[in-house]
Amino acid sequence: MPTIHLALTATTAVALALTLAVGLLTLARDRSPQPWLDRIILADLAVGALAALTGLALVLTGDRPRDTLHLIYGVIVLAVVPSTRYMARAGRWRRRAGWISVGALVGLVLVSRLAMTG
């Protein structure tokens, strides 16, 4: 089970990197990335949720992380990209792309912190 959790966490990092790339590309081109951007955000959520569920299964079986912050970071990673997408809902695509890029970058930083506290 730890191997599955680690693989899903790495996949979450890849999905966040892809979200960051699409956000930055949208910033540079100022063109609507729809429907790809929302699909990538859903992929972030799906893979992140699977990683969180396997982590929860590990905790329930007694394999706790070294640091309790690991659990908090895991919750925040799930919320950061949808939150930034929501914050920029009324703006133009360039503004939305900026917020989503910031959210993806924060998510990547948090996933790296997860690796340090796991």
Q: Tell me how far apart the alpha carbons of residues 99 and 86 are, in angstroms, rounded to a whole number.
A: 9
Q: Tell me how far apart the alpha carbons of residues 100 and 107 are, in angstroms, rounded to a whole number.
A: 10
CB 95 within 8 A of CB 11: no
| pTM confidence score | 0.89
Q: Tell me how far apart the alpha carbons of residues 74 and 79 are, in angstroms, rounded to a whole number.
A: 9
pLDDT band for position 106 (50/70/90)? very high
Task: Give the three-class secondary structure for 118.
Answer: coil
Q: What is the pLDDT of residues 81-102, one digit of tens each?
A: 889 888 878 778 888 888 889 9
Q: What is the pLDDT of residues 35-69, one digit of tens each?
A: 888 888 899 999 999 999 999 999 999 888 888 88
Q: Tell me how far apart the alpha carbons of residues 12 and 50 are, in angstroms, rounded to a whole number.
A: 9
